[in-house]
Amino acid sequence: MTLAALALPLQGLRAQTLATEGPGVRLPALGESAAEDFTVGTERRLGDQIMGEIRRDPDYMDDPVLLEYLQSLFRPLVDAARQRGDIDVDTGNQFAWEAFLVRDRTVNAFALPGGFVGVHLGLIAMTATRDELASVLAHELTHVTQRHIARGMVNQQRASLLGVAGLILALLAASRSNNPDMAQAAMMGSQAAAIQGQLNFSRDMEREADRVGFALLGRAGFDGAGMAAMFDKLDAANRLNDSGAFPYLRSHPLTLERISEARLRLQGGAAAASPGSPWLHAVMAARARVLMDSSVQALRKQQDLPAIRVGHGAVERVAALYASALASSLLHDHALAEQRSREARELLAAQPAPDAAVMRSLWLLDAESRMAAGDLAGAFKVLGQVQTQWPAPEQARPLLLLRAHAALLQMGERREPELRQSTEALQTWVAGHPRDAMAWLLLGNSAQALGLQLRGLRAHAESRLLVGDLTGALDRLRTGRTLARKGSAGQDFIEASIIESRLRELETLRRQLAAEARGGRASGREPDQDRESERSPDDADGKRPSLQLGLAEVPSKPDR
């Protein structure tokens, strides 16, 4: 299912709402207070509704390695915004402050209500430095902290959240398509198309996002020159490329005034942070280039990069070897994948001061490749070495998820010990990261493999809830309650108690959403009535296409 498919049914409801409201509807202008009409809590609920749909899209990508890198850039920016006072207590507590990935070749990023920021893989792939990528994140983050989205929304009293969510999903679908007919269909008529211009950020909002975003860069430890460099790239792309590959420029108009102001800020004496290592960004950009297009033709091109990069600098060659190893593994050429991975490590180790973060990434890639080749013993050995050498808690997620997936693939006498170890590690992780849908999914699969039915059902319920399937979450919790009452799931009283508590909470949530839907003009249906009919046999636990786990989720045929 694509974003367009998700958007169209909702957008039809939105079109009906606009038709009943008439032509007099106007969005709040910059400077007007939208707090009374569009509260922080309302904005977060809207964001959760939109993210629930996005997470069900196959192109929503939770690649642990790439997401860890993205978050390592996003978190310091959020912290800097808190220090500056851009994030108050209310938004700080209620908003998600979450960056996520979309598998798309186009250059785009977007802010959503409630503190969510989406980044296309194409954007990561085209940036030359971490500072360029951070400048886009800082800009989008500022759209959230300055409540630009709230100011550009239709008054909550005039449109249901469901209708507004549908409009935003339609706009995202259109931005990801190079087909004008597709974009037109997503917009569903002239009234919705007219309101799109009002949802695109105004010139004043763009300038404010530039100014505040630039301040965030320096405070967060990034070089402000990254923003000017990014503007230069986008400007060149705007002048030379009319293929639709840069949808970012449609929703964020780049003017000469904005470009000039970015350059003037650098001349104004703003302290430039010491640039980060180019090695890690080069490798992560290479990973994004491979993962954004898994067609055989594109993978073959990435596989051949080392031959093209002969004579280039060491950074470019390591990145090319990384891309070749990953592409080779996706093409099931495991021997070449192992060779390229080894060559990359040897080249990096030969440098005067090898970048430790890049070496860790290369070893994680080696573990991924071994898992894809069926060498689980080798994968566990490599993962153990990584854990010993890089034990920092903030670097735990890729290792944790890879190890859990390897444990599920393990057979023989080592299966149960590995499963128990990964289950306990996942349980600890989700206690501190309750919004990690992939971790909940793997915890559910691991618990069920060990015969821990209640723990597995509860974990799968949490995973379904996080991808917007409230009905699926309730189904699993009710099944768990039935098993607990029959005594057929053992005497796990703690899990039984948690299931009862969560069931009450989600039943309350269901009633609230139903009341909200009935109160809106767009629809009188309960939000989950349609979702139940959308679920297919392929949407079962452990097989949901919207969660990607690096090489572990690669289909048997690499071409899509």
pLDDT at 53: 86
Q: Are strands 60-61 and 109-112 parallel, antiparallel or unpaired?
A: unpaired
Label residue 513 by pLDDT band (50, 70, 90).
confident
The string of pLDDT tens digits covering residues 249-294 is 455 555 577 777 777 777 765 545 566 789 999 999 999 999 999 9
Euclidean distance between CA atoms 125 and 469, whole angstroms:
32
CB 492 within 8 A of CB 454: yes
| pLDDT digits 0-9 by tens, 380-394 | 999 999 999 998 877
The pLDDT assigned to 221 comes to 93
Averaged confidence pLDDT in the chain: 79
What's the whole-number mean pLDDT along residues 56-73?
A: 95
In order, the DSSP letters of 234-275 are: HHHHHHH--SS--THHHHS---HHHHHHHHHHHHTTPPPPPP
The answer, yes or no, to whether residue 522 has pLDDT greater than 60, is: no
3-state secondary structure (DSSP) of residue 38:
coil
The whole-number pLDDT of residue 457 equals 97
Judge whether residue 432 has pLDDT over 80. yes
pLDDT grade for 419, boundaries at 50, 70 and 90: very high
The span from the CA of 211 to the CA of 222, in Å, is 15
Residues 65-90 as b/e (b if ≥16 CB within 10 A, e otherwise) read: bbbbbbbbbbebbbbbbbeeebbeee
Mean pLDDT, rounded, for 524-537: 39
Task: With a cut of 50, say whether residue 4 has pLDDT above it.
Answer: no
Q: CB count, 10 Å around CB of 158?
A: 17
- Residue corresponding to tokens 């978190």: 75
Q: What is the pLDDT of residue 488?
A: 65
* Cβ burial, residue 218 (10 Å; 0-12/13-18/19+): middle
Provide the pLDDT confidence category of residue 414 given band limits of 50, 70 and 90: confident
- pLDDT at residue 200 greater than cutoff 90: no
Please give the Cα distance from 296 to 181 (Å, whole number).
27
Give the model's confidence band at 9: pLDDT under 50 very low, under 70 low, under 90 confident, else very high: very low
Relative to beta strand 60-61, strand 98-102 is antiparallel
Task: Specify the DSSP class assigned to residue 395.
Answer: G
Amino acid, single-letter form, for residue 509:
L
- pLDDT of 170 reads 64
Reported as a single tens digit per residue, the pLDDT across 218-227 is: 999 999 889 9
For the chain, percent of residues with pLDDT exceeding 70: 71
What is the pLDDT, as a whole number, of residue 160?
A: 54
- Is residue 356 very low, low, confident or very high in pLDDT (cuts 50, 70, 90)? very high
Separation between Cα atoms, residue 199 and residue 282, nearest integer Å: 34
Residue 34 pLDDT grade (very low, low, confident, very high; cuts 50, 70, 90): very low
User: Has residue 425 got a pLDDT over 80?
Assistant: yes
Q: What is the pLDDT of residue 79?
A: 98
Give me the pLDDT at residue 245, please.
54
Query: What is the predicted pLDDT for the residue at 17?
Result: 30
pLDDT of residue 178: 46
Number of Cβ within a 10 Å radius of residue 41: 11
- Mean pLDDT check: name the lowest of 8-22, 94-108, 187-201: 8-22
Higher-scoring residue by pLDDT: 552, 42: 42
Q: How high is the pLDDT of residue 287?
A: 99
Q: What region does 488 belong to: left with phi over 0, alpha with psi -120 to 50, or beta?
A: alpha
Distance spanning both ends of the chain, measured CA to CA: 14
pLDDT (0 to 100) of residue 364: 97
Residue 211 has pLDDT above 60, yes or no: yes
pLDDT band at 237 (very low <50, low <70, confident <90, very high): low
The encoded tokens of residue 420 equal 């128990």
- Average pLDDT of 128-155? 86
Instruction: Give the SS3 label for residue 99.
Output: strand
Burial 167-177 (b: 16+ CB within 10 A, else e): bbbbbbbbbbb
210 vs 520, which has greater pLDDT?
Answer: 210
Of residues 213 and 36, more confidence is placed in: 213
pLDDT band at residue 19 under the 50/70/90 scheme = very low
More confident residue, 197 or 125: 125
Q: What is the pLDDT of residue 332?
A: 96
Q: Delineate the domains of the chain, giving CATH numbers in brackets.
A: 3-267 (no CATH), 291-391 (1.25.40), 394-554 (no CATH)
Average pLDDT over residues 435-439: 96
Whether the per-residue pLDDT at 524 is higher than 70: the answer is no
